[in-house]
A and B are shown apart, each in its own frame.
Chain A
Amino acid sequence: MSSGARLRVFAAKLKARFAQDKENREFDEELWAHLQLLTEQYLRQGMPAEEASLAARRQFGNSSLVRERHREARSFLSLSAFWRDVRFEARQLARNPLFTAIAVSSLALGIGANTAIFSAAKRVLLDTLPVTNPHDLRLLTWVSGHQQPVPQVWGDVWSTDGGGLASNAFSYLVFQEMRKRTDAVRGLIAFKDVKMTANVDRHPELVSGELVSGGAFDILGLKPILGRLLNSADDAGPGKGPVAMISEGYWAACAMLALDAAAVAGSAGTDGSVSTSGPVDRAMRS
């Protein structure tokens, strides 16, 4: 039997599974009608009633066996037949390892790709940020005419439908002014991604960091695992007393290099300046 035919038989059985009672009744009716017709035929040939009925049964064969086979063929009732099929398929697969390998690896690739895409999409689309009120967060954008209010290197600048420009890069002065308007927002956070050098136990390395305004963690409602978080007091002014925090992931990576955790917390510095702070909440890792 071809695989297409096999599938059709399977579908027919599946359908029958849901209409079994009706099917059984109809099939009984069909057999009964057949026996009636045979009996009538013998009666017309002049047989006595009793003999005619017997002859009809003989001609028909074992009707209960037919019914049983019919029921079995229409359903998955026969478990032994099912296992026979499973074993047969398993042998077929074993006999044709190349086909099996291709089938299994296509399945694996398909399932794997879908899982990966879903995990990424879930993070971007479904999961919320691990902060106190994720739904209250807004990213501000300015829209202008053709002039460019901030240098392009500050952040993304894109064209609007009206032929103007838009960006979410603001100057620090604008940020400071906007922060004063406490009637409009509960809190304002400035951030900018930067590459910086971290000296861990006197081993310098390039790390991806983020410059943030002091009140950021307060507004987001985060808690540190060790040490303290940045606060508004750390916004002393340009170049004055910069402080750094490291993520739990970075801390774990340093710990994996057999660096002393206390040393990590004590000596991680940026741009040569000393700073201390504990790793951020585990939830902020991503």
Chain B
Amino acid sequence: MGGKKSEVLQGTLDLMILKTLHALGPLHGFGIARRIEQLSEDVLQLNEGTVYTSLLRLQQQGWIVSEWGTSENNRKARFYSVTRRGLKQLAVESENWERISGVIGRVLRLERQG
């Protein structure tokens, strides 16, 4: 899909990161950015710096924790992982998202009446 890329919706980056960490286990910021880029298949326009703002937000809520470690290519890196509280939040947010996107989908599919 060429043409314009969509901006990441406000608030959805947190959910995407939470889900990514849940699915792939501990990752550093670069790894998270790569994964989201890969999944979005160039549809999303992601300023990778905002990943870090989101990571901080998630940490402050206690949904993820970070730990310094060594990356695949032997570099010092900070790894993020989901906490138990984060898992609960992920379940809540996912359900919320499904519901909202379902509603929006139905609204958009409305046929013209009369």
Check A66 for interface membership: any CB of B closer than 8 A: yes
Also in contact, A9 and B78, with CB within 8 A (given A59-B48, A61-B48): no
Q: How many of B's residues come within 8 Å of A, CB to CB? A: 21
Instruction: Judge whether B48 and A38 touch: CB under 8 Å.
Output: yes
Also in contact, A66 and B61, with CB within 8 A (given A30-B78, A33-B75, A37-B30): no
Instruction: Judge whether A70 and B52 touch: CB under 8 Å.
Output: yes
Cα(A179)–Cα(B23), bound, Å:
91
B 65-90 contacts with A by CB, 8 A: 68, 75-78
Instruction: Judge whether A8 and B60 touch: CB under 8 Å.
Output: yes
Cα(A10)–Cα(B86), bound, Å:
18
5 CB-based A-B contacts, threshold 8 Å: A13-B60, A30-B77, A34-B30, A60-B47, A73-B57
Residues of A within 8 A of B50 (CB): 61, 66
Residues of A within 8 A of B57 (CB): 73
**Chain A-chain B contacts (Cβ-Cβ < 8 Å), number:** 61
Dominant secondary structure at the A interface? helix
Instruction: Judge whether A66 and B53 touch: CB under 8 Å.
Output: yes
9 more CB-based (< 8 A) A-B contacts, given A37-B30, A65-B49, A66-B50 = A5-B61, A12-B62, A29-B76, A33-B75, A34-B48, A34-B52, A61-B47, A61-B49, A62-B49
Residues in chain B within 8 A of chain A (CB atoms): 28-30, 33, 47-50, 52-53, 56-57, 59-62, 68, 75-78
Check A201 for interface membership: any CB of B closer than 8 A: no
Instruction: Judge whether B60 and A60 touch: CB under 8 Å.
Output: no
Cα(A78)–Cα(B53), bound, Å:
16
Partner of B33, one of A27, A33, A34, A65: A34
Cα(A74)–Cα(B66), bound, Å:
15
Instruction: Judge whether B56 and A33 touch: CB under 8 Å.
Output: no
A 5-20 contacts with B by CB, 8 A: 5, 8-9, 12-13
Instruction: Judge whether B61 and A73 touch: CB under 8 Å.
Output: no
Residues of B within 8 A of A69 (CB): 53
Instruction: Judge whether B61 and A34 touch: CB under 8 Å.
Output: no
Residues of A within 8 A of B75 (CB): 33
